[in-house]
Amino acid sequence: MVTDVIRLLLFPALMAFAASSDLLTMTISNRLSLALAGGFFLLTIITGMSLPAIGMHLAAAALVLAISFGFFAMGWIGGGDAKLAAATALWFGFDFLMDYLVYASLFGGVLTLVLIQFRRLPLPGPLARQTWILRLHETGGGVPYGIALAAAALAVYPKTGWMPAFGL
């Protein structure tokens, strides 16, 4: 029962928090990535995941972390995005990593195009008083890519081995 609640709620709730945090503050807390990693390890213990399987999940996360920090070094993504992507890869392992990365790329592209269009429009008065909207509207400003990463994670998560108890 507790395991099912954790499987059903923890990962999706943390992803929703990551997306909203990035939207409103352009920041993804290190604590969030640590909570994702901690939740993964808690479930591996509860479900009895084998050590080789855990090793493969760790390898997937390490690969994503290395590549995404290269992207961070080039200025293409933020550090919080890199850590979120790696923590998500920890949950998915190699089995669902490609699905996640394809969805994240597609959603990130759409998000970027929407922001480009949004930044071309004048802001109505009530919106112009919202700090987070001004930050999003700023020409040349960053893209809250955590939204795309979280959306991709939520699109892939029901396909994983974490969800079969719910028939999803």
Contact 33, 84 (CB under 8 A): yes
Domain ranges of the chain: 2-159
pLDDT in tens, 58-113: 999 999 999 999 999 999 999 999 999 999 999 999 999 999 999 999 999 999 99
Please state, in angstroms and as integers, the Cα–Cα distance from residue 3 to each residue in 10, 17, 36, 70, following that order. Answer: 10, 21, 15, 36
Q: Is the pTM of this model over 0.85?
A: yes
pLDDT in tens, 112-138: 999 999 999 999 888 888 899 999 999
Distance CA 53, CA 8 (A): 21
Write down the number of H helices and E strands in the chain.
8, 0
Contact 103, 15 (CB under 8 A): no
Q: Residue 167: pLDDT above 50?
A: no
